[in-house]
Amino acid sequence: MAPHAPTGSGRLSRRLLLLCAFLGTGLCHVGAEAESFGQDARTSPPVTVFNWTAQLVEETYTNITQKCWEFFVDLMRNVTAPELCEWKVISRPYSLLQACLEGWADHLRYGYPNALAEQYIFQSHHRYFPNCTLQHQVYSDPPEDVLLAMIIAPICLIPFLVTLVIWRSKDSKAQA
């Protein structure tokens, strides 16, 4: 890890400034609070405290999810129309979109799933996968009356078969 100068009260490190510049203006509000540290080796240098409000977190998440979407759209440009319904082809971009949305929500403690992430997932389905249907028939449970008959028939058949086996075994002993 590259060494960097400790931040003083009210100053930001170069990395933090670059992060703020990357995320855009107005996203990095920093409080001027910094803890003092002594000469003891167990204490850490001062830490800049971020003043994250709910509105700021939502604005940041909104901006980041837009970047996630743009990255997904860029990846999907490489997918041809016949490949849009092939899971092997679309699983990577789709999984990256989901991971980006979920990862940043977790990082910002925004909560996932959320309305904004669901909006992007639905948008991806509407835009790229509207004509994808399951090629294999989906099986469902039979109606209750058919299911009941399938359960009761073997149960009723067992006593009849036991009686038949006993009767035939007695009949074969009588003939011998």
pLDDT digits (tens, 9 = 90+) for 116-135: 999 999 999 999 988 887 66
Q: How many alpha carbons fall within 13 Å on the CB side of residue 81?
A: 1
Q: Rounded to an integer, what distance in angstroms lies between the CA atom of residue 103 and that of residue 130?
A: 26
Average pLDDT over residues 42-60: 70
User: Which architecture characterizes domain 54-129 according to CATH?
Assistant: Orthogonal Bundle (1.10)
Confidence band, pLDDT 50/70/90 cuts, at residue 140: confident
**Secondary structure of residue 120 in the 3-state scheme:** helix
Confidence band, pLDDT 50/70/90 cuts, at residue 47: low
| This prediction's pTM | 0.50
Cis peptide before 113 (omega within 30 of 0): yes
State CA 87 to chain mean position distance: 16
Q: pLDDT of 54-69, one tens digit each?
A: 889 999 999 999 999 9
Q: pLDDT of 2-16, one tens digit each?
A: 444 444 433 333 444
Give every CB contact of residue 16 below 8 A, 6+ residues apart in sequence: 7, 28, 30, 48
